[in-house]
Structure 1
């Protein structure tokens, strides 16, 4: 990537990180992991008619911020919306990388795996169907959501693979020509969802702006084509003229939030997870 494109991408990511995390996470916090005396939390939003013993579909959201910024809260409105339609929605706090170095996102992926493991192993307590748990996320959070769905883990007592993926401008190509290559370097196959597509991956929907400075439309189309070639349902929605983070609640009087949420609902409705006529 030429230097000017790096600068544009960095500026875009800083603006994205600083502008979308004012919302507070809703729902009851639960500690899923303690690292170096720091408690990492999940924020669980349940439907108003939730009761013990329920068997609800769920979604686990990861916030964006380039692996170096952000906090739970980006998907608060999504969580409340899906809870209104019967799902349990969970927002994840995960450790961030140091901006001053170029470490690969090992701690981010470790926390994502542990969060998903905790959710599935506590499915009864959460009133969640362990066979209907989606991951969702935006930007670097979209990477983590897609990482769980594509990068296979070995010798797991509790599976961390989701049953569906809802991905908002995910930086899911971390290869030599993709995003994050300065951190993953030649280890990209360990982290890059686009380089780990297989027939056992879950169905997905991807939302992307046509003028996203971090993710070319060609990358999203290639991901979709390779997923479909593997026999996996993969949907792509491209929004003309929109840049990175266009989907966030509060942007453009919620036009794109509303449009992408409507398509998310159709995707989840087709899976039978929420009523097909949800609005």
Structure 2
């Protein structure tokens, strides 16, 4: 129940799928929950390889365009342009993380006077390290060898870890410790470097959990509930939400 003239906090989610596929519906339930808490919550479409024949660099350009569109239209949407978060899972988590760290890659003709940098990041098993980190986890970098073809540019140019500096958005990361698709180590490295640069970054690890553990409908929704509860607390700490969380009641309502 909001309209033009309101100044609601907002979040844009980006789906996962290895920059090849995926659906905006992935974060539908997170969006519905946050909307019930008073945020304007959106899930963005972006071009992917299987449907549009593009590389990851085009996915990132689309993500920048999406966030910039929301901020440019904030007054019409009833959004506070200074409380605009980005979230996502896996490749979508990469896009959100890249929005918070990587300069450039703007779509031609875009009004770059409107910032495409989010004010906060909510990331789920995100791909944040796309190039080797010297002296750290050498055995985990073998799988990165094929990334350049998928990226469309040198992977380091699209690797959020390699672009961390001071003044990055406050961030929370949820990651399964047994993730073999996106190693847990990568989120540890990202968190460590964010803190070294004076940025707020919280990593919430889930022992025994694998890739995609947080999705609605998995394992009686226990990890969905826990990640949303902790996301809620994080957003409260930033002044985006207020009052008690009600995620368990929300999940019960979905089954009626």
TM-score range, shorter chain: 0.7 to 0.9
In structure 2, C-alpha distance between the alignment counterparts of 1:146 and 1:62, rounded to whole Å: 10
Q: Structure 1's 186 and 133: CA in aligned 2 closer, same or farther, altered over 3 A?
A: closer
Query: Aligned with 1:76: secondary structure?
Result: helix
Q: Is the 8 A contact 1:56 1:87 kept in 2?
A: yes
Query: Aligned with 1:131: secondary structure?
Result: strand
- Which residue number corresponds to residue 61 of structure 1? 13
Q: Is the 8 A contact 2:15 2:88 kept in 1?
A: yes
Give the CA deviation at 1:278: 2.0
2:63 to 92, 104, 112: 112
2:165 to 179, 198, 205: 198
Deviations 1:67-87 (A, max 9, x none): 001121101100010011110
In structure 2, C-alpha distance between the alignment counterparts of 1:166 and 1:187, rounded to whole Å: 26
Q: Which moved more, 1:147-156 or 1:253-262?
A: 147-156
Residue segments in structure 2 that go unaligned for 5+ positions in a row: 133-140, 247-256
In structure 2, C-alpha distance between the alignment counterparts of 1:264 and 1:203, rounded to whole Å: 12
Q: TM-score, normalised by structure 1?
A: 0.78
Query: Aligned with 2:154: secondary structure?
Result: helix
| Equivalent residue runs for 1:150-189 within 5 Å | 150-153=101-104, 156-176=112-132, 177=141, 179=144, 181-182=147-148, 183-184=150-151, 187-189=154-156
| Equivalent residue runs for 1:201-220 within 5 Å | 201-220=168-187
Q: Structure 1's 84 and 105: CA in aligned 2 closer, same or farther, altered over 3 A?
A: same
Q: Which has the higher helix share?
A: 2
- Which residue number corresponds to residue 204 of structure 2? 237
| Equivalent residue runs for 1:1-279 within 5 Å | 49-98=1-50, 104-153=55-104, 156-176=112-132, 177=141, 179=144, 181-182=147-148, 183-184=150-151, 187-275=154-242, 277-279=244-246
Give the CA deviation at 1:172: 1.3
- What is the aligned length? 230
Q: Which moved more, 1:184-193 or 1:258-267?
A: 184-193
Deviations 1:116-161 (A, max 9, x none): 1111000001100000000000010000010101102389211000
Give the CA deviation at 1:200: 2.0
Higher relative contact order (CA 8 A, sep 6+): 2
In structure 2, C-alpha distance between the alignment counterparts of 1:185 and 1:105, rounded to whole Å: 6
Residue segments in structure 1 that go unaligned for 5+ positions in a row: 1-48
In structure 2, C-alpha distance between the alignment counterparts of 1:184 and 1:51, rounded to whole Å: 39
Query: Aligned with 1:235: secondary structure?
Result: strand
Q: Is the 8 A contact 1:265 1:276 kept in 2?
A: no
